[in-house]
Structure 1
Amino acid sequence: CVVWTRFSFPPRGGTPATTRAEQTTASPPPPHAAMAPLSTAVRLLRSPAAPRAVPHPPARLAGAPARVRRRRSLRLRAEAAKEAEVGELRAGVSVYKPRSYEVLVSDAARSLAAAIDDGRTRLEIEFPPLPSSISSYKGSSDEFIDANVQLALAVVRDLKKLKGTRSCIVFPDQPEKRRASQIFKTAIDQIEGISISSLDDLPTGPVDTFFKSIRSTLDFDFADDNEDQWKSDEPPSLYIFINSSTGDLSSIEKYVDQFAASVPAVLFNLELDTLRSDLGLLGFPPKDLHYRFLSQFTPVFYIRQRDYSKTIAVTPYIVNYSGAVFRQYPGPWQVMLKQGDGSYACVAESASRFTLGQAKDELLRVLGLQEEVGSQLEFLRRGYKNATWWEENFDQEKSPAWRT
């Protein structure tokens, strides 16, 4: 009779033997799991069976998988929040009532950041810089100019927080740049990475240089100690043009070609629709400037308010109403009707830009004041032409971006 006896020998080193499942439970992940993608690290940790026991990793790598998980979780949350925000902007707004200019600036900065993320480099921002009663140059031009500078600085500050963008604010000329640097020195100093420039920095010929020197002498345009304070060794990643007139548009085109050919450029509160109406007149740039240059600029945040009145045959005989053409990128173009509480309610949407005539028709339609289509009253109200020259000529435009 032969008796077989099963012996269990401990492994080398004298430690008791463990089963495969116990090895899997007790053994930490391999050292390379910290450098592998998260999916690989999680698979190694959750594997039901490991081929062999592995030595303990160094202490500095022991908590790596948890850190990787936390970082990925934070990244996914940030991406989800950003996608939700962009999706909200893409859907448009039903009612718009900003509580303050801080909200306007924040909305403009978010839309600008979304457009830059989409690869757009020619951008426009347009909204009233002051209350409607003293907006534009109807009031004091100095108030209008200073308000635009403050709002541009606020947008630059918010964009710096969102994307870390190094921005350059470009003024129409050297005296205005110097004036702004004196008045807003403290505000400019608080923004990291900002620089300021002027259209006078463009290289010119001897004749232009001579006339600039005469102008500087007559205007007592003396140098300032702070003039070169906000120059950066690194090139800006965004240029913002403010407070320019119709005569400056040609210089802006040259400046963009010279310095901002491959980086985003923003036309900030220039009231382009007003400036376009001067193109082609004596002493102003030709209309072709719009077709080849201004048509490339996509409005990313746009509010154009208008007040109207309508005569009717019954009491109260005159109906006053107000509205606005609104766009918040990447949302659609919207026609907004002003309500009694000051808010703007959306009454129409379109993927392409509304002309002012189309916006007025939409407001009349929702108010029930629109004449019968094709009637004599409609013709008398609308007239022969219902759009401006820059809104009608599609074929001559180099780009349809300004309509999208």
Structure 2
Amino acid sequence: MEKVGAQAPEQAETSLESIATTEESLAQPERIRRVPGRQTYRPASFQVLVQDATNAVKAAVADGLTRLEVEFPALPGNIDGYKGASDWFIDSNIQLALAAGKMIRADSGKRVHIVVPDGGEYNRSYKMFKAALEAADGITMGHLKENSKSIFSGLNIFGSVPDTDAETLSQGARKADIFIVVNASTIELPDVEKYIAATVKEKPLVLWNLELDTLRADLGLLGFPPKELQYRFLSQFTSVFYIRQRDYSKSVAVAPFIINYSGCIFREYPGPWQVMLRQDNGEYACIAEDEKRYNLGEAKEELMSAMGLDTEVEGSAMQFLRRGYKRSTWWEDAKELETVDSWRR
């Protein structure tokens, strides 16, 4: 599995006012259709998984949505970008995004521009996937700062592909119909916002496996962007394909004394948000669904109810100790501060 840049002299630096204006003009339309959610889900391969995610992206774009999120495990098991295997995660995301771009191109004829965080990441990724990019008609790669002059432009360090042809990168962005952003970190989210205002504008953009829920948790901390970025910017993105897996256990008074269970929050546009329980054969079965996004606390309650494990008396001390005082995050609670609520729908 597999995880760009000079600015034209006449192009002014993106201002916060232009970003705000762009956001107002890109408010997500009301969803115009619904379909029933899946009763079960178990993709046979990563190819099927990417195809399902791509179909969800195409359905959302056809409905007029332009700010999209795709989130699913990019690698088998519990390996991710925050658990010591970042190179695997980064390369896998790029390979999966390339596969999605090829499917979009083949099915709709739309040109896809894959965007990595910066010139250094672009040089590394382009060198690794050069053959695949050159063989894929209508698929280009760039980076969030491809329109910004770098003091390192033109340098070829350690045999990397030099990021000297900024015009070529800019052409790929100008011709693109859909943008896919991969591997951006929390501190690079403001660069995504500026890139949209300066380059993407009203065209569709997909945040691809950024693990946004992990990135949101850093907002407001010292050295990271402010929480306002969630309210103003990230709240615009509709999760069109989303799988968030969790494993749980509960102690009981009789054998086997510890019951382990697993499930996930699942969403496939234009279907509803669903809570799915993992079966013994590895298949996920729907046990609850709603028009609005579940948080992890709500999903866990649905899983426990389906397993018959919610045995505490409502309002009891035992129930309070199991649930805890806080069952949601600050970004899930701050509805009144959000510019839009697309991320919840």
**Cα drift, residue 260 of structure 1:** 1.2
Q: Structure 2 CA distance, aligned partners of 1:299 and 1:248?
A: 20
The reply on whether 1:142 has 2:87 as its aligned counterpart is yes
Q: Which residue of 2 aligns with 1:5?
A: none
Code of the residue aligned with 2:72 in structure 1: it is: F
Is contact 1:326–1:335 with CA below 8 Å preserved after alignment?
yes
1:118 aligned to 60, 63, 73, which one? Answer: 63
* CA deviation map 1:82-133 (0-9, x unaligned): xxxx99x821100101000000011011100000000000000000000123
Q: Which residue of 1 aligns with 2:318?
A: 377
Identify if the C-alpha distance between structure 1 residues 91 and 380 changes in structure 2 by more than 3 Å, giving closer, same or farther: same
Where does structure 2 lack aligned partners over 5 or more consecutive residues? 1-31
**Cα drift, residue 223 of structure 1:** 5.2
- Secondary structure at 2:193 match in 1: helix
Aligned sequence identity (%): 50
The reply on whether 1:364 has 2:307 as its aligned counterpart is no
- Secondary structure at 1:283 match in 2: coil
The reply on whether 1:168 has 2:116 as its aligned counterpart is no
Is contact 2:112–2:139 with CA below 8 Å preserved after alignment?
yes
Structure 1 window deviating more from structure 2 (245-254 vs 305-314): it is 305-314
Code of the residue aligned with 2:341 in structure 1: it is: P
* CA deviation map 1:341-369 (0-9, x unaligned): 11100000000000000000000000000
The reply on whether 1:213 has 2:151 as its aligned counterpart is yes
Q: Which residue of 2 aligns with 1:388?
A: 329
Q: Which residue of 2 aligns with 1:27?
A: none
Q: Structure 2 CA distance, aligned partners of 1:398 and 1:158?
A: 33
Is contact 1:178–1:227 with CA below 8 Å preserved after alignment?
no
Is contact 1:130–1:136 with CA below 8 Å preserved after alignment?
no
Q: Which residue of 1 aligns with 2:135?
A: 190
- Secondary structure at 2:264 match in 1: strand
Q: Which residue of 2 aligns with 1:299?
A: 239
Q: Structure 1 CA distance, aligned partners of 2:343 and 2:154?
A: 36
**Cα drift, residue 390 of structure 1:** 0.3
Is contact 1:169–1:239 with CA below 8 Å preserved after alignment?
yes
| TM-score w.r.t. length of structure 1 | 0.73
**Cα drift, residue 202 of structure 1:** 3.9
- Secondary structure at 2:286 match in 1: strand
Is contact 1:302–1:326 with CA below 8 Å preserved after alignment?
yes
1:278 aligned to 212, 215, 218, which one? Answer: 218
| TM-score w.r.t. length of structure 2 | 0.85
- Secondary structure at 2:51 match in 1: helix
Q: Structure 1 CA distance, aligned partners of 2:217 and 2:188?
A: 14
Structure 1 window deviating more from structure 2 (313-322 vs 217-226): it is 217-226
The reply on whether 1:308 has 2:253 as its aligned counterpart is no
Is contact 1:181–1:226 with CA below 8 Å preserved after alignment?
no
Q: Structure 2 CA distance, aligned partners of 1:226 and 1:107?
A: 37
Identify if the C-alpha distance between structure 1 residues 394 and 369 changes in structure 2 by more than 3 Å, giving closer, same or farther: same
Is contact 1:113–1:162 with CA below 8 Å preserved after alignment?
no
Is contact 2:112–2:140 with CA below 8 Å preserved after alignment?
yes
The reply on whether 1:321 has 2:261 as its aligned counterpart is yes
Root mean square deviation of aligned Cα: 2.3
Is contact 1:296–1:400 with CA below 8 Å preserved after alignment?
yes
Identify if the C-alpha distance between structure 1 residues 219 and 282 changes in structure 2 by more than 3 Å, giving closer, same or farther: farther
Q: Structure 2 CA distance, aligned partners of 1:277 and 1:149?
A: 24
Question: Higher helix proportion, which one?
Answer: 1
Identify if the C-alpha distance between structure 1 residues 118 and 376 changes in structure 2 by more than 3 Å, giving closer, same or farther: same
Segments of 4+ in structure 1 off by > 3 A? 214-223, 225-234
* CA deviation map 1:206-265 (0-9, x unaligned): xxx6xx537997976865389666643852111111001000001100001111111011
Q: Structure 2 CA distance, aligned partners of 1:266 and 1:191?
A: 19
Is contact 2:154–2:163 with CA below 8 Å preserved after alignment?
no
- Secondary structure at 2:180 match in 1: strand
Equivalenced residues, count = 311
Where does structure 1 lack aligned partners over 5 or more consecutive residues? 1-85, 204-208
The reply on whether 1:180 has 2:125 as its aligned counterpart is yes
Q: Which residue of 1 aligns with 2:162?
A: 224
- Secondary structure at 1:232 match in 2: helix
Q: Structure 1 CA distance, aligned partners of 2:342 and 2:173?
A: 33
Higher relative contact order (CA 8 A, sep 6+): 2
Q: Structure 1 CA distance, aligned partners of 2:337 and 2:327?
A: 19
Structure 1 window deviating more from structure 2 (302-311 vs 126-135): it is 126-135
Q: Structure 1 CA distance, aligned partners of 2:157 and 2:225?
A: 25
Q: Which residue of 2 aligns with 1:403?
A: 344
Is contact 1:347–1:363 with CA below 8 Å preserved after alignment?
yes
Is contact 2:186–2:224 with CA below 8 Å preserved after alignment?
yes
2:37 aligned to 79, 82, 92, which one? Answer: 92
- Secondary structure at 1:330 match in 2: coil
- Secondary structure at 2:75 match in 1: coil
Is contact 1:347–1:362 with CA below 8 Å preserved after alignment?
yes
Is contact 1:333–1:349 with CA below 8 Å preserved after alignment?
yes
